[in-house]
Amino acid sequence: MRRWHREYHVTHRIGWLRAAVLGANDGVISTASLIVGVAAAHASHEAILTAGLAGLVGGAMSMAAGEYVSVSSQADMERAQTEVERKELETDSAGEHKELANIYAKRGLTPELAKQVAEQLMAHDALDAHLRDELGITPAQRAQPVQAALASAASFALGAGLPLLAVLLSPAAHVGLSVTLFSLLVLTVLGAIAARVGGARILPGAVRVLAWGLFAFAATAGIGALFGTII
């Protein structure tokens, strides 16, 4: 009985995965750091919660705007490059065929086979062949500004909501410690999940995020304690 050979790839996740992971990690780290810093300054429980909520809303909007602008610039570049290739195909089809054949020859095909492959691919979809093999622009990796913005805002809000949940559930006297421990646990899990979904090793991904979280919490706690004492 013949068994089908199946391969599992994750390149189709690149667009939304990057934005979602960045948003969630940023939501946890920035909001938890803000809460820890305010708590270290001996603020009231209400002030800590208000600061956390403000950080959630402001951070989500900032992530959405920043991601949209950034990815829109990438999309603009892709459209411009697509238009350049389209015009070159219209005005110099033979030259574009030679260019594509040279690309395949450099990858290991014989010159004769490279010419045949270039000819057949251009006959099928010349623009797609040049975008993919000359410029590295593929449908799975095309910039999608709206998708990236929404994924960033939603994942940031979700990540930021977790430290706020810890604020609500923890005793007022131990808010800073509770948020720190809970957030570090969440960051470790997020790092592991991101690595697993992206097809990478779990431990390095988890440790990487955990280390940055520790650094951020220590820095903001120190600032909060310093300025809280001075004020």
CA within 13 Å, CB half, 169:
9
Rounded Cα distance between 231 and 41, Å, is 9
Percent share of the chain, pLDDT over 70 = 88
Residue 28 identity: V
For residue 221, the model assigns a pLDDT of 87
Chain position carrying tokens 């920035």: 30
Counting every residue written for the chain, the total comes to 231
Rounded Cα distance between 76 and 79, Å, is 5
The string of DSSP codes covering 76-89 is HHHHHHHHHHHHHH
* Of residues 23, 21, 25, the one with CA closest to residue 33: 25
List, for residues 134-158, the tens digit of each pLDDT value.
777 776 667 788 888 888 889 899 9
For residue 5, the model assigns a pLDDT of 44
The mean predicted confidence, pLDDT, of the chain is 83
